Each structure stands twice: as C-alpha cells, then as structure tokens.
Amino acid sequence: MTSTLRQLLVPVDFGEASAAAITLGGHLARRCGGELTLLHAEALDAPVYFTKEQVETMAAERRSRQAQAQKFLGVFGRKHTQTPFTAVIEMRPVVEAIERHGASADVIVMGTHGRTGPRLWWLGSVAERVLRDTAVPVLVVHAGDASPITRLAVYTAPGLQGDAAWALGQTLALALDAKASDRRQSPVPPSAMFSGVSMVVVAEPRVHDRAWRTTVGEPLIRSGAGPVLFVPEA
C-alpha cells in the first residue's frame, strides 16, 4: 500500500505550537510536492436580539477583522516556512472550519499546547475534538517539536492491521530523511512508545474509542515527547 501527501492543512492560532506545525507541515509539503493551506478561524456571530443597525455594524467589523487576519496569517506563515501556501480565514467556529477544510486534506497538521484544566486553550482542546470527529489523519505537533526527526515508529491500537498507518509512516520517513520502524505487533504503554524515536505514528479506531483514547491517545498527546500522527482505520 502506498500513501501520498498532496493536500496538507495547518490550523493556525498564531501561537508557538501552530508555528511549529507550520514549519513541519511546510517541510512535508515541500518534500512531497504537496499543497500547503494555512487556516485561521474565529466565530463572530450576532446575537439574536441585535437590531438591524447592530447587525450591519457587526458585519462591517467582521469584514475588517477578516482582512486584518488574512494579512497577519500571510506574515506569520512566511515567518515559519519558505514553502508557498494558501492562507484561508474562516469566520466560523474553529472545529467546524477545520473539519470543513480538512475533509479534502491528506493530513491535518496541528499544534497543541497539551494543557489540562483551566489553562486548556484553543489548539489544546481543539486538537482532541478534531481527532474525535475527523476521518482524516491528524499529525499533532508541540511547540518544542522543532528538532530534526530521524526515526519514527508505527504502532496500532488492538485489533487493527495498521496498513494505512505503515504506508503513511513510510511516506513521512522518506520526506524527513528518517527511518521507519514497524512496531505494529508490539503493544506497549504510551510512556514507552517514544523509546528510541522522535515521532510516533498510531493506527487508531475510526469509530471513536473513548477508552483507547483516554489510556493511549491523550497521554501520547500530552507527553510532549514529539509529534504524533493518528491514522484512523475502520
């Protein structure tokens, strides 16, 4: 089985984690000959009790904010990658925007702050919601994941073959000049998955498995040990 990366989507909140995602996503797009799209989304909806004049004022503000965000997204993107990209601004809820544009992507590369409790913010909770709802592979990147990726390992959740994950892992390894290790038959706890590698690829149930995500997926995300690619499998 082969895998390609022709369309890469990077959601951006202008923080350090999304900057790291842009850098990695840009590198992958350049090495794979893929197209890179940067997406920033924010909702600005008028309350139902607004008058016509208030709605018109908010609409004007929305157009102004959208133009400013478009300009800033271009500047922010060029700061973190030399790969050409398309900058998209969506004035709608973040998860809805990511799922809308991510449906046509081969992979979604998104940053996460890996926080818990009251400090959980934008791409912390959003990354987990996207992972729960999308059928597209999601590559989760932390702010500190800037070091070169020289070796990656491919694992599977119990009962899965992981063929798509292995194919995508090989594609990533080729793009990153890294080595890929097939560990699909080696179930280990999340704390040991990063042993000897700097990226983990995991085949996970396409239908959300809360128990597996709680015991394996979320600890991997929050470990901050390196990028984690989740590949849904039926």
- CATH number of the CATH domain containing 22: 3.40.50.12370
> What pLDDT, on the 0 to 100 scale, is given for residue 118?
34
> Can you give the pTM of this predicted structure?
0.86
Q: How many domains does the chain have?
A: 1
Q: How far is residue 56 CA from its own chain's centroid?
A: 35
Structural domain that includes position 128:
7-47+53-233
Max mean pLDDT range (38-52, 114-128, 186-200): 186-200
The two three-digit tokens of residue 175, written as one number: 């793009």
90 domain-assigned: yes
| pLDDT average, residue stretch 65-85 | 91
Q: Which of 116, 177, 123 is closest to 152 using CA atoms? A: 177
Q: How far apart are CA 168 and CA 228, in angstroms?
A: 12
Asked whether residue 226 carries a pLDDT value surpassing 70, the answer given is yes
**Per-residue b/e over 131-166, b at no fewer than 16 CB within 10 Å?**
beebebbbbbbbbebeeebeebbbbbbeebebebbb
1 domain-assigned: no
Asked whether residue 123 carries a pLDDT value surpassing 50, the answer given is no
* Residues 90/100, Cβ–Cβ less than 8 Å: yes
Mean pLDDT across the chain, nearest whole number? Answer: 84
81 domain-assigned: yes
DSSP 205: E
The two three-digit tokens of residue 63, written as one number: 């157009």
**Per-residue b/e over 168-207, b at no fewer than 16 CB within 10 Å?**
bbbbbbebbebebbebbeeeeebeebbeebbbbbbbbbee
Max mean pLDDT range (47-51, 114-118, 157-161): 157-161
Asked which of 56-70, 94-108, 152-166 is least confident by mean pLDDT, the reply is 56-70
High-pLDDT (> 70) share of the chain, %: 82
DSSP 12: -
* Amino acid in position 4: T
Max mean pLDDT range (14-18, 39-43, 144-148): 14-18
Asked which of 27-31, 100-104, 189-193 is least confident by mean pLDDT, the reply is 189-193
> What pLDDT, on the 0 to 100 scale, is given for residue 120?
38
> What pLDDT, on the 0 to 100 scale, is given for residue 161?
93
Three-state SS letters, 98-160: HHHHHCCCCEEEEECCCCCHHHCCCCCHHHHHHHHHCCCCEEEECCCCCCCCCEEEEEECCCC
Q: How far apart are CA 201 and CA 152, in angstroms?
A: 7
2 domain-assigned: no
